Homo-oligomer: A and B are copies of this chain.
């Protein structure tokens, strides 16, 4: 090792030791152990896929998982194929009406939303679920298809050990207040806008 490298190594070690002290102190300060509420919002790519990554995490530890997908379900998706085929232990429900611009039927959409919500609500009352994913739930609120108070109450009164992930653009201040962790996914750029098609096994 040259003298210059040795110096770099020493200065690195010193900086990292200090950083470790700070990080250890922060970890020690976080001492409440309970399920968390997570909101993944914003217009960027990655909200639903992030929720399904957490499904994989929970399954890795053998935890029980429930998923309700609002809106989605007309076009086949990789996560649907995977969960139906490989994870029969996951409770999986899709509203299945597709996007509002496809159905063009407000009353039908509302009825489907209510049916899907009833399934979600049961999960939120069942402490055997370690993780519940409510994919694209925010749209049900912004379209006023579901009553916000009803949803917020169910989220707030869920079992203490249960974590919930809500995805979708928007969501409003009440959902943000409810959530312990909120990430806003900002679209910096998207392949779509350069004429590249949505990719099978990546985008859906």
Kindly report which residue of chain B lies nearest to residue A190, judged by CB atoms: B181
Point out the residues of chain B lying under 8 angstroms from A99, CB to CB: 23
Contact mask for chain A residues 53-96; partner B; CB cutoff 8 A; 1 contact, 0 none? 11111111101000000000000011111110110000000000
Q: A5-B107, A45-B38, A202-B163 are in contact. Are A101 and B23 (CB under 8 A)?
A: yes
Binding site for B on A (CB under 8 A): 1, 5, 8-9, 12-13, 16-17, 19-20, 23, 26, 29-36, 38, 40, 42, 44-61, 63, 77-83, 85-86, 99-107, 130-131, 163, 165, 176, 179-192, 194-204
Q: Whole-angstrom distance between the alpha carbons of A5 and B42 in the complex?
A: 31
- Within 8 Å CB of A44, what residues of B? 182-185
> Who on chain B is nearest to A201 by CB?
B58
Chain B nearest CB: distance from A156 CB in Å? 15
A79 touches which one: B35, B48, B60 (CB < 8 A)? B60
Partner of A16, one of B85, B100, B189: B100
- Contact present for B182 and A189 (CB under 8 Å): yes
| A181 CB contacts on chain B under 8 angstroms | 45, 189-192
Partner of A49, one of B45, B50, B105: B50
Instruction: Assess whether A196 is in contact with B59, with CB atoms less than 8 Å apart.
Output: no
Supplied contacts A53-B56, A57-B202, 14 more A-B pairs, CB within 8 Å: A9-B105, A12-B100, A20-B101, A26-B192, A32-B194, A36-B202, A40-B46, A42-B183, A53-B54, A57-B203, A60-B81, A180-B190, A183-B187, A184-B186
